[in-house]
Amino acid sequence: RHRASADGRPSRAALRAGEGRRAGPRSVLVDVGSGRFVEGTPSQQARLDVARVWANWQIARVRSVDPRWRPQPGLSSTLEGEILQQQSVLRQGEAHLRSLRRRIGDNGGPPLELPPALPLRSAQEILTPGGRVLGYRFSGARPDIYTLSQSEFDAALRLLTNGRREILPPDSYPGVYYELPDRCVIGVRNSLRNGMTIDIIESGTRLPLYPKTKFRRR
């Protein structure tokens, strides 16, 4: 078995193996749109939230060159199916952009210049750009809680999860973990009180933020 770290939290190896679990909330009802609610786990809800942020970005990206584009709709009776549908929007968008580029180039004009993809950045560059912590603190709030506008939060979330590997969190964490190359581990969850939240689980080698620092979407 993997040992806990000196402060009692699960070690990095334990995080990867999914050890240190405790009983947590097992099911939630998630709004999947059109008045439909589907039962799932808090982890699935967090994965759906992340997938929606990416899908919305892809739709806006494709419509910047083809305003009429719409992804193929899907209807699923499960939360896992809804996650897959949102993730498919990324693939549909990339395929449509490639087809547009070929079509325009084949007609004798210059190839379509595709909207840029997201760069790979470290947690330090994303959350503390220029040495300043992203977001702001409400008066009276704890010093480790930062609030971001929806656009700021979604942009940071995309950069943090761009090409990152998911780690199985303890059952006590109602969301999903991601590990970045600088060994920073973040958690993403949906708080009933505060909505989407990014938690710093492990600061890694460069991020100047303590674990348990939170970023909330306003």
Structural domain ending residue among the three candidates 95, 117, 139:
117
Taking the C-alpha atoms of residue 1 and residue 188, their distance in angstroms, rounded to an integer, is: 26
Q: Tell me, yes or no, whether 182 lies in a domain.
A: yes
Cα dist from 194 to 13, 83, 183, 206, 210, whole Å? 30, 22, 27, 28, 20
Question: Do 45 and 30 have their domain in common?
Answer: yes
Q: Tell me, yes or no, whether 162 lies in a domain.
A: yes
Mean pLDDT in the chain?
A: 84
Q: Tell me, yes or no, whether 17 lies in a domain.
A: no
Q: Which residue has the higher pLDDT, 180 or 24?
A: 180
Helix (H, G, I), strand (E, B) or coil at 127: helix
Q: What is the mean pLDDT of residues 90-101?
A: 91
Backbone φ and ψ of 138, nearest 5°: -70, 145
Q: Tell me, yes or no, whether 9 lies in a domain.
A: no
Question: Do 83 and 40 have their domain in common?
Answer: yes
pLDDT digits (tens, 9 = 90+) for 123-182: 999 999 999 999 999 888 788 999 999 999 999 999 999 999 898 899 899 999 999 988
Q: Any residues with CB less than 8 A from the CB of 207 and at least 6 apart, and which?
A: 122, 123, 124, 127, 128, 182, 184, 200
Q: How many domains does the chain have?
A: 2
pLDDT recorded at residue 98 = 87
Predicted TM-score (pTM) of the model is: 0.81
Q: Tell me, yes or no, whether 34 lies in a domain.
A: yes
Domain extent at residue 78: 25-117
Structural domain ending residue among the three candidates 80, 101, 117:
117
Q: What is the mean pLDDT of residues 34-47?
A: 89
Dig out the tokens for 89 from the structure. Answer: 């929007």
Structural domain ending residue among the three candidates 100, 117, 134:
117
Q: Tell me, yes or no, whether 5 lies in a domain.
A: no
Cα dist from 197 to 35, 65, 150, whole Å? 24, 32, 11
Contact 204, 55 (CB under 8 A): no
